């Protein structure tokens, strides 16, 4: 029977034609061509009427099995095309994790911030807490309550930026002592306060109109000058090296009595004398002293019960000694050639 052969041929032909199909639209089209109403199977079936009962049955079965086979063939091809599409997509999205990464330029912690952080870590480890105060201060807190009434000659020690007669840019972090004492109302205190201060100084290698101090204040029963020396010696050794020594020279600050200027032994010459320490073997790093009784009283403390010490560390001074920087202006010009040197510093 010719029709039977024709049906076999349909399969062979479909197989052949599908070889070139690579997208789902064309596949759909082909499927419609082969299995649709005008397709070869439908055409063969149209000739059935002339056949015997026996032949009809045979042809019917045959056409059904060819249809099933065709459908399987198209389904298989569809799956193959879909797999190919997915594989292509995956290949295009593959990341080679062994390729070197893109280097994103990073900054570094500014040497002054780094120094402040180290000071904070050090004093926190000794039981201090960190206090803060405003950079715009009142004359009362910055001077009067620190035993510096208006017209006091010692006000000339700090040439101050005034906003109006009562408000100023703080010239020292000592007003944070005042604020803390007024808040604590006679209770013991152990704080440091790092922060920016301002003075009407002409900028040069060792002066800046804006710089950073780290104030310290410890008040309690039986706090002595020896405790002050211990707190500062520890700082000198931890910040600048275990071999460092400190010495206290008598000095004057209106808010402390006795007052002292604190020097640290020169790290370059080891104390023998060189041009960095101007042949003295010592470098001045801070002012300190026992809190003046007048200050204690003005801030609500009874000097017969509680006394203590205060110090004001020059943060730039410490950073300059630590990193061997010879011009304070380097900290404030933000020259990347300078700042990049601190990327590796730990
Ligand atoms: N505030 C002082 C200054 O700026 C430093 C200092 C602080 C001295 C605390 C004694 C006690 O010069």
pLDDT in tens, 7-36: 889 889 988 988 889 999 999 999 999 988
Q: What is the pLDDT of residue 275?
A: 83
Identify the three-state secondary structure at position 25.
Answer: helix
* Shared domain check, 191 and 149: yes
Q: Check pocket membership of 310 for ligand 1, CB cut-off 6 A.
A: yes
Query: How many other CB atoms sit within 10 Å of the CB of residue 85?
Result: 13
Confidence of residue 345 (pLDDT cuts 50, 70, 90): low
Confirm if 199 and 171 have CB atoms less than 8 A apart: yes
> Are residue 80 and residue 117 in the same domain, yes or no?
no
**Residue 7 forms part of a structural domain:** yes
95 alpha carbon to ligand 1 midpoint, in Å?
60
Q: Indicate whether 124 and 88 sit together in one domain.
A: no
Q: Are 209 and 199 a contacting pair, CB within 8 Å?
A: yes
**Interval 122-151: pLDDT, tens:** 999 999 999 999 999 999 999 999 999 999
Helix (H), strand (E) counts: the chain: 12, 10
Which phi and psi angles does 218 have, rounded to 5°? -130, 120
Same domain, residue pair 131 and 241: yes
Identify which of 137, 251, 255 to mutate to test ligand 1's pocket (most ligand atoms within 8 A of the CB). Answer: 255
% of the chain with per-residue pLDDT over 90: 71
Clarify whether residues 263 and 303 are in a common domain. Answer: yes
Average pLDDT, the chain: 93
Return the bridge partners of 313, or none: 214, 286
> What are phi and psi for residue 231, nearest 5 degrees?
-65, -35
Say if residue 243 is in the same domain as residue 316: yes
Q: Using CA positions, which residue lies closest to atom 9 of ligand 1?
A: 311
The predicted pLDDT at position 268 comes to 83
Note down the domain range covering 144: 111-342
> Does the structure show a pLDDT above 80 at 78?
yes
Ligand 1 contacts CB of residue 119 (under 6 A): no
Whole-number Å distance, alpha carbon 49 to ligand 1 midpoint, is: 118
pLDDT digits (tens, 9 = 90+) for 221-274: 999 999 999 999 999 999 999 999 999 999 999 999 999 999 999 988 888 888
Same domain, 237 and 121: yes
How far is 17 from 152, CA to CA, in rounded Å? 107
At residue 56 the predicted structure's pLDDT band, cuts being 50, 70 and 90, is confident
Q: pTM here?
A: 0.72
pLDDT of residue 312: 98
Rounded Cα distance, 346 and 344, in Å = 6
Mean pLDDT calculated for residue range 292-307: 97
CATH number of the CATH domain containing 319: 3.30.930.10
Backbone angles phi, psi at 85, to 5 degrees: -60, -45
In a domain, 35, yes or no: yes
Assess if residue 185 is contained within a domain: yes
**Does 281 contact ligand 1 (Cβ within 6 A)?**
no
Instruction: Identify the pLDDT of residue 232.
Output: 97
Cα 278 to Cα 52, 274, 275, distances in angstroms: 127, 6, 5
Strand partners, 312: 215, 287
Query: 203-228, pLDDT tens digit by residue?
Result: 999 899 999 999 999 999 999 999 99
- Is residue 328 located within the same domain as residue 294? yes
| Protein residue with least CA distance to atom 10, ligand 1 | 288
Tally of structural domains, the chain: 2
Could you give the strand order of the β-sheet that contains 162-164, starting from the edge strand earlier in sequence?
136-138, 167-169, 162-164
99: in domain: no
Is residue 105 a part of any domain in this protein?
no
The CB of 111 under 6 Å from ligand 1? The reply is: no
43 and 158: one domain? no
Burial of 332 (0-12, 13-18, 19+ CB in 10 A): middle
Please indicate, yes or no, whether residues 126 and 220 belong to a single structural domain of this protein: yes
The answer to whether the CB of 218 is under 6 A from ligand 1 is no
Residue 1: pLDDT band (50, 70, 90) is low
The percent of residues above 70 in pLDDT, for the chain, comes to 99
- Asked, for residue 208, whether it belongs to a domain, the answer is yes
Q: Is residue 106 part of a domain?
A: no
Is residue 324 located within the same domain as residue 199? Answer: yes
Q: Determine if ligand 1 sits within 6 Å of the CB of residue 289.
A: yes
Convert the pLDDT of each residue in 86-135 to its tens digit. 999 999 999 888 999 888 888 889 999 999 999 999 999 999 999 999 99
Q: In terms of DSSP H, where are the helices of 166-310?
A: 175-184, 225-240, 293-298
φ and ψ at 267, to 5 degrees?
-80, -20
Report which of 30, 43, 37, 111 is spatially closest to residue 71, judged by C-alpha positions.
Answer: 30
């Amino acid at each position: 029977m010719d029709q039977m052969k024709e049906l076999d041929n349909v399969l062979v032909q479909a197989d052949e034609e599908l070889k070139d199909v690579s997208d789902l639209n064309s596949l759909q089209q082909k499927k419609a061509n082969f299995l649709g109403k005008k397709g070869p199977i439908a055409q063969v079936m149209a000739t059935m009427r002339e056949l015997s009962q026996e032949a009809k049955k045979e042809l019917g079965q045959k056409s059904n099995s060819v249809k099933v086979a065709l459908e399987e063939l198209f389904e298989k091809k569809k799956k193959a095309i879909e797999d190919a599409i997915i594989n292509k997509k995956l290949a295009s999205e593959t990341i080679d994790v062994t390729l070197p990464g893109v280097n994103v330029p990073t900054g570094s912690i500014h040497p002054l911030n780094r120094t402040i952080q180290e000071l904070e870590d050090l004093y926190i480890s000794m039981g201090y807490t960190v206090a803060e105060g405003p950079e715009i201060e009142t004359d009362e807190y910055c001077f009067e309550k620190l035993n510096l009434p208006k017209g006091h000659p010692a006000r000339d020690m700090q040439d101050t930026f005034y906003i109006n007669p009562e408000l100023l840019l703080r010239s020292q972090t000592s007003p944070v002592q005042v604020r803390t004492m007024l808040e604590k109302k006679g209770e013991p205190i152990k704080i440091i306060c790092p922060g920016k201060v301002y003075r009407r100084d002409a900028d040069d290698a060792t002066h800046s109109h804006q710089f950073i101090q780290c104030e310290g204040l410890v008040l309690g029963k039986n706090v002595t000058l020896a405790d002050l020396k211990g707190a500062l010696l520890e700082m000198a050794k931890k910040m600048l090296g275990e071999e460092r020594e400190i010495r206290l020279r008598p000095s004057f600050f209106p808010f402390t009595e006795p007052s002292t200027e604190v020097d640290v032994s020169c790290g370059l010459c080891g104390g023998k004398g060189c041009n960095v320490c101007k042949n003295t073997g010592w470098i001045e790093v801070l002012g300190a002293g026992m809190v003046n009784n007048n200050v204690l009283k003005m801030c609500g403390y009874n000097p017969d019960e509680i006394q203590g010490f205060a110090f004001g560390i020059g943060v730039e001074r410490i950073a300059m000694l630590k990193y061997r920087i010879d011009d304070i202006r380097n900290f404030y010009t933000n020259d990347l050639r300078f700042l990049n040197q601190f990327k590796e510093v730990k």
